[in-house]
Amino acid sequence: MLDDAMRLFDVLEFADRIEFLPGDAREEVPAVADIYVLKSVLQQHDDKDAAAILENCRRAMTPGARLVVHERLMPEDPSADPEAIMIDLHMMAITGGKTRTLAEMESLISSAGLSVAGHRKTSGGMTAIDVRTP
């Protein structure tokens, strides 16, 4: 997966501006970035581990750094998005994680000492949440 991402950014001619650092974000997040991206990461974890990941991001973030959380969110009315329900069931069964509502995600982010600066739904049904240090 890391090799695929590196090849994509090379094709897009961004490779010289990006550094991929593999690791376990539940343990540590390197303090070397202007922007951190978590794509479909928090949904794979229960609240405890998701909070630990966000807290590690907060510790690593320098003033002005940003975190983008890119996840499929559960709508307030789950029947409005059957795909989100299926992802939620998959996460619960396979990883112990869950698909969260925007309110649940904002609460989780806030509990880690971070704040939501905004969010935007993408054309693919995901939501990009702009997270900052307070």
Taking only the tens place, the pLDDT of each residue in 2-33 is: 677 778 778 888 778 777 777 788 888 888 78
For residues 52 and 117, what is the distance between their CA atoms, to the nearest angstrom?
A: 20
Q: Which CATH number fits domain 2-132: 3.30.70.1140, 3.40.50.150, 3.40.50.720, 3.90.950.10?
A: 3.40.50.150
Amino acid at 74: M
* pLDDT of amino acid 1: 60
Domain ranges of the chain: 2-132
At 124, the pLDDT band (50, 70, 90 cuts) reads confident
Averaged pLDDT for residues 122-132: 93
Taking only the tens place, the pLDDT of each residue in 47-94 is: 999 999 999 999 999 999 999 999 999 988 888 888 888 888 888 898
Task: Name residues whose C-beta falls within 8 Å of residue 71's C-beta, 6 or more positions apart in sequence.
Answer: 38, 39, 40, 41, 42, 43, 99, 100, 105, 126, 127, 129
Mean pLDDT of the chain: 89
What's the farthest any 2 CA atoms get from each other in the chain? 43
